[in-house]
Chain A
Amino acid sequence: MDGPMEGLIFDIAHLLAASLVLISFVQLYQDRLYALLNTFALHAFVLACSVAWQAFIQDAPHLYITAAIALVFKAIVIPIALHRIIQRLGIHREIETVVGIGLTMLAGIALVALSMVVMLQVTAGADPLAREDLAFALAVILLGLLLMVSRRNAVSQVVGFMSLENGLVLAATGAKGMPLVVEFSVAFSILIAFVVIGIFLFRIRERFDTVDVHALDRHRGERR
């Protein structure tokens, strides 16, 4: 493939990866749990498209499995499960954010700038597609971390963790010929399934009145 075709390949991969960063930003200012879940489902869907595109351009059919996991498990099953948990727990009210939305967005912009500067400089010698993919992936990872630390609700922390993990999948599929990618995404799916079941069990056992992590602090036996 040469000339305009190669440009198109690059542009589509670029577009999908950048959309992930954008949706990560959208997640940052969602103040309702349902809306956050819907945004996450979109995040996972775009990831599935991006992975499928990488599978196509790298001619790596095993990556279609990763794409399918992202689509079925993360874009459909997990959001529906979390939706039902939220309904069951009756916590579909507003999310408490630790710092204001404005500050969080500013921090997010700073993190994206940081990941661009750092990754583009470090990977100067690498293949341009992998290189920009990696910069976007780091941005998604850092935004996921930011989402986790800026929220106190256990469900939104899990959403933060999952979008962080989407960034990892983006990085892994962008690295050409990377082995074990499918295994990694399966391992992460197991991890996420455990968290979701964990949240559910917390409530089923009625050990906590709330899944607000801040409230859990009060149960601590000893203050550090």
Chain B
Amino acid sequence: MSAIVPDPVALILLIPIGAAALLALLPGYRLTSRLSVAASLLTFLAALALFAAEPAAPGSYLFVDEFNIVFIALNTFVGFTTSVFSASYIGHELATGKLTPLYLRFYHAMYQLLIFAMNLALVANNIGLMWVAIELATLTTVLMVGIYRTHEALEAAWKYFILGSVGIALALFGTILVYLAAQPVVGEGMNGMVWTVLIEHVAAFDPALLNMAFVFLLLGYGTKVGLAPLHAWLPDAHAEGPTPISAVLSGLLLNVALYAVLRFKMLLAGNAGAIAPGPLLVTMGLTSLIFAGFMLYRRQDVKRLFAYSSIEHMGIIAFAFGMGGPLANFAGLLHMVMHSLTKSAIFFAVGHIAQVKGTQKIADIGGLTVTHPWLGWGLVLGVVAIVGMPPLGIFMSEFLIVSSTFAREPWLALPLVLGLLIALGALLLRLNGLAFGEPRGSTAPAQASYVPMYAHLALVLVAGIYLPARLVDWFQHVAELLG
């Protein structure tokens, strides 16, 4: 059986890496963008096959459990829709001469490599392998952020690179400390890095070492999540890179880094003597939320605006997991999925808008619902979703977070609600200028692909109204695992 039907876990890794090698070699823009879409679709289908396949026993490198399986599906789905968006976006960049065919080839190869790295980080059962995968994902995105070779793009890439590397280095130190804590209990060698072995024996680990390890891991991977005050690279990287990369950065890579933090949080939850990581996450989450909320008001660049909104949402998610408990964890997981879908849809809209208008300056864009109704209304719907208006999916997750906080720690709910309202005000204010009023900027028709954007928004809308029982069961089960 297994000889005929290849293992889907292997497929979600082999398809992107094979495609990356192929795309690096093949010339021709139309062919390569189609190939990239096809490869992403196949990866997505392989990820869906994971649900049907018998779960294999966890190996010392790879495994699939209930926690990562939906993130793999989300990752490959957004990877697929973004590759569809990329094809039309990059075609326009080529037409306007912003990118040369050589860079384009490089772009598609790097995109597949990024998908590979993120899938690898998600299926890794080995904290060392997970670290290597996240490093690889960082490197590929650094290269893509700098792809336009302008002053700003190179500076953003450099900054991302230096801060990302320091984060990655601190995370490795934390990983080494986890191994040291595990070594007396599970013995020397590979076992000390296998996550399933660690979680089984974690109760016997030295709590002081685990605490220390978690602090370094939180600082390290937290830099990649973009939690304030470690967020400095994030707005630049989003604003200066190609928009499809902003979409996957916000929608996927931040989630992957947060997934890594959550894996270690699960370890700490299994050890009675270790500190509760909750207060740390709550503090960082609230800081990010309120800081980003205020920063939203002064943004002049539309991509930077939504980059700060990503910091805000990562703050909300970190807050939810910091609160812990079945309900808040459930809401945090739901929010991760909803934010990922909504934010990438917004970046799809923003990417085409910036191309049509020839600028990213908010002041130079206006009246989109009149000049480009499909793009304009897509943006309106996306922003309405992201600020948490009913009946969309983010409303539900934010409502759950707020209500569970009110029930348990009413005082913490105040800054949370305040932060949400600040951000809501800023985004609606900016949206008003962008989408309504006197048309500003070019009114040339857009060469856009609307399907990815509206597919995401439709999913967010459906999730806000009706969540399938199976999905709810899954979220509840994982929320319990998270402790």
A positions within 8 Å CB-CB of B: 118-119, 121-126, 130, 134, 137-138, 141, 145, 148, 154, 157, 161, 164-165, 168, 171-172, 175-180, 183-184, 187, 190-191, 194-195, 198, 202, 205, 207-208, 213, 216-217, 219-222, 224
Give bound CA distance, A116 to B240, whole Å: 42
New contact pairs (17) apart from A161-B166, A183-B132, A220-B152, CB-CB < 8 Å: A122-B211, A123-B209, A126-B184, A161-B162, A168-B176, A171-B176, A172-B172, A178-B183, A187-B135, A187-B136, A191-B139, A194-B161, A198-B161, A205-B149, A207-B149, A213-B158, A216-B158
On chain B, the residues within 8 Å of A190 by CB distance are 139
B151-186 Cβ-contact flags toward A at 8 Å (1 or 0): 110110110011001101110110011011001100
Give the contacting residue for B173; candidates A122, A126, A141, A183; CB below 8 A. Answer: A141
Question: Across the two chains, which residue of chain B brings its CB closest to A192?
Answer: B165
Are A148 and B189 neighbours in the complex by a CB distance under 8 Å? Answer: no
B231-246 Cβ-contact flags toward A at 8 Å (1 or 0): 0000110011000000
Give the contacting residue for B209; candidates A122, A179, A217; CB below 8 A. Answer: A122
Give the contacting residue for B152; candidates A125, A157, A194, A221; CB below 8 A. Answer: A221
Are B212 and A168 neighbours in the complex by a CB distance under 8 Å? Answer: no
**Nearest CB in chain B: distance from A135 CB, A:** 12
Question: Across the two chains, which residue of chain B brings its CB closest to A190?
Answer: B139
On chain B, the residues within 8 Å of A161 by CB distance are 162, 165-166, 169
Give bound CA distance, A113 to B193, whole Å: 30
Give bound CA distance, A176 to B310, whole Å: 41
Main secondary structure on chain B at its contact with chain A?
Answer: helix
**Nearest CB in chain B: distance from A166 CB, A:** 11
Query: Quick check: is B188 within 8 A (CB to CB) of the other chain?
Result: yes
Are A221 and B239 neighbours in the complex by a CB distance under 8 Å? Answer: yes
Give bound CA distance, A162 to B162, whole Å: 11
Are B179 and A178 neighbours in the complex by a CB distance under 8 Å? Answer: yes
Give the contacting residue for A175; candidates B161, B168, B180; CB below 8 A. Answer: B180
A-B contact count (CB 8 A): 125
Sample 12 A-B pairs with CB under 8 A, ordered by A number: A122-B211, A125-B184, A154-B158, A165-B169, A175-B183, A177-B187, A178-B176, A178-B183, A179-B190, A195-B165, A202-B154, A222-B299
Query: Quick check: is B192 within 8 A (CB to CB) of the other chain?
Result: yes
Give bound CA distance, A208 to B151, whole Å: 7
On chain A, the residues within 8 Å of B304 by CB distance are 222
Are B180 and A130 neighbours in the complex by a CB distance under 8 Å? Answer: yes
Give the contacting residue for B155; candidates A121, A171, A180, A220; CB below 8 A. Answer: A220
Give the contacting residue for A222; candidates B126, B131, B188, B300; CB below 8 A. Answer: B300
On chain B, the residues within 8 Å of A126 by CB distance are 180, 184, 206, 209
Are A183 and B128 neighbours in the complex by a CB distance under 8 Å? Answer: yes
Are B180 and A123 neighbours in the complex by a CB distance under 8 Å? Answer: yes
Residues A191 and B135 in contact in the complex (CB < 8 Å), given A207-B154, A220-B155: yes
On chain B, the residues within 8 Å of A122 by CB distance are 208-209, 211-212
Residues A141 and B301 in contact in the complex (CB < 8 Å), given A126-B209, A184-B128: no
Are B180 and A134 neighbours in the complex by a CB distance under 8 Å? Answer: yes
Give the contacting residue for B179; candidates A175, A191, A216; CB below 8 A. Answer: A175
Are A219 and B151 neighbours in the complex by a CB distance under 8 Å? Answer: yes
Are A178 and B166 neighbours in the complex by a CB distance under 8 Å? Answer: no
B183-206 Cβ-contact flags toward A at 8 Å (1 or 0): 110011110110000000000001
Give bound CA distance, A121 to B208, whole Å: 9
Are A177 and B192 neighbours in the complex by a CB distance under 8 Å? Answer: yes
Are A222 and B301 neighbours in the complex by a CB distance under 8 Å? Answer: yes
Which of A122, A161, A165, A208 counts the most chain B CB atoms within 10 A? A122
Give bound CA distance, A118 to B216, whole Å: 13
Give bound CA distance, A221 to B169, whole Å: 29
Give bound CA distance, A187 to B154, whole Å: 23
On chain B, the residues within 8 Å of A198 by CB distance are 157-158, 161
Give bound CA distance, A183 to B139, whole Å: 16
Question: Across the two chains, which residue of chain A brings its CB closest to B211?
Answer: A122
Give bound CA distance, A207 to B155, whole Å: 10
Are A118 and B212 neighbours in the complex by a CB distance under 8 Å? Answer: yes
Are A172 and B192 neighbours in the complex by a CB distance under 8 Å? Answer: no
**Nearest CB in chain B: distance from A154 CB, A:** 7
**Nearest CB in chain B: distance from A142 CB, A:** 10
**Nearest CB in chain B: distance from A54 CB, A:** 13
Give bound CA distance, A119 to B158, whole Å: 32
Residues A168 and B301 in contact in the complex (CB < 8 Å), given A130-B180, A161-B162, A175-B179: no
Give bound CA distance, A78 to B188, whole Å: 33
Give bound CA distance, A123 to B193, whole Å: 19
On chain A, the residues within 8 Å of B176 by CB distance are 168, 171-172, 175, 178
On chain B, the residues within 8 Å of A222 by CB distance are 239, 299-301, 304
Give bound CA distance, A191 to B132, whole Å: 11
Give bound CA distance, A141 to B176, whole Å: 13
On chain A, the residues within 8 Å of B301 by CB distance are 221-222
